[in-house]
Amino acid sequence: MAARSIASLTISFGLVSIPVKLYSATQASGHVSFNLLHKGCGSRLKQQYVCIKEDVGVAREDMVKGYEFAKDQYVIFTPDELKELEEKGTKTVDIIEFVPAESIDPIYYDKAYYLAPDKGGAKPYALLAESMRKTGRCAVARWAARGKQYVVQVRPVQGGLVMQQLLYANEVRSMSEVEIEEAPVREAELALARQLIDQISVEKFDPSQYEDDVAKRIHAAVQEKVAGHEISVAPVPEETGAQVIDLMDALRASLGKAKPGVPAKPVQAEPKVAERKPPKRAPAPASEPAARVKAGKK
């Protein structure tokens, strides 16, 4: 079934305007969700907000929004005040700059959208996509929607353009906040690790090779439940402490296990360090004649 456009936008590229249609690049059809039910009668539950001071339920019409600026101290905003603070949507993706495609770390990636040319936009759309392919660059732009302002990346992919919503810098934690113990790596370990990487390497990533096994198990269990069958529950294994293993032994054992459908490559023996031979001793001086006559004696 053909995808349905969710919005019409315009990419502003210098003095060029490119009309495009926006499509969601992801779907939640594979997502498994459960509803909360009353254990006694099996009816669905509804959420209720309770005042922590008076311990009574509060109706939606009696709710207001507030921002906690200090412990248990709030400033209240009316719906009109919040509406005034929202970003006004312009339906325009304004390109600010072009940067090397590899300069944007994927850790900043958020939601992705497909862009397709709208009426009259095929030529400039193709021009922008091909120009970025030839230069190895992508576009960084601003986009306002749903009352918010987003920084987005527009990049060429096979078949068209993708608009990738990006996180702001303050939304991404620094790697320096993570404690990582430094550990030296020996050349022999590095050589075996590279062999292992070569053994299970492929030319490109194929997402169709991967499936959500948990979702498949849940869907199968749902069908069993619908059919009135009981689900057998396996006992939870006892947790055991992490085993300390020799790194070189683990690498060698991993090299012996080939990827399914890929013949195992021969394991090269770890290069041996030449044994150091003891230094040669200088030849001992010839022994003196036993019948040497000492000076002054006959």
The tokens for 90 are 């312009």
Mean pLDDT for 88-92 is: 85
pLDDT at 285 exceeding the cut of 80? no
Mean pLDDT for 196-214 is: 88
Range in 56-65, 119-128, 171-180, 233-242 with the lowest mean pLDDT? 233-242
Report all structural domains of the chain as residue ranges with CATH numbers, in order of start.
7-27+87-171 (2.40.290.10)
pLDDT at 194 exceeding the cut of 60? yes
Confidence of residue 294 (pLDDT cuts 50, 70, 90): very low
Q: Are 142 and 1 in contact (CB under 8 A)?
A: no
Q: How far is CA 21 from CA 150, 159, 199, in A?
A: 18, 15, 43
Q: How far is CA 142 from CA 94, 97, 249, in A?
A: 5, 10, 52
CA separation for the pair 92, 75 (Å, rounded):
33
One-letter-per-residue 3-state SS of 46-110: CCCCECCCCCCECCHHHCCEEEEEECCEEEEECHHHHHHHCCCCCCEEEEEEEEEHHHCCHHHEE
| CA nearest neighbour of 112 among 175, 154, 68 | 154
> pLDDT: is 164 or 262 the higher one?
164
Give the pLDDT confidence of 209-247 residue by residue, as tens digits. 888 888 888 888 888 888 888 888 888 777 766 565 677
pLDDT at 8 exceeding the cut of 70? yes
Classify residue 22 by burial, with Cβ atoms within 10 Å: 0-12, 13-18, 19+.
buried
Q: Could you give the percent of the chain with pLDDT greater than 90?
A: 51
Range in 16-20, 154-158, 188-192, 215-219 with the lowest mean pLDDT? 215-219
pLDDT given for residue 248 in this prediction: 76
Mean pLDDT for 253-279 is: 56
Query: Model's pTM, two decimal places?
Result: 0.71
Give the pLDDT confidence of 116-127 residue by residue, as tens digits. 999 999 999 999
Supply φ then ψ for residue 154, to 5 degrees.
-110, 120
pLDDT at 286 exceeding the cut of 80? no
Confidence of residue 92 (pLDDT cuts 50, 70, 90): very high
The DSSP code for 172 is S
First to last CA, the chain: 124
CA angle 98, 103, 108 (to 5 degrees): 100
One-letter-per-residue 3-state SS of 220-251: HHHHHHHCCCCCCCCCCCCCCCCCCCCHHHHH
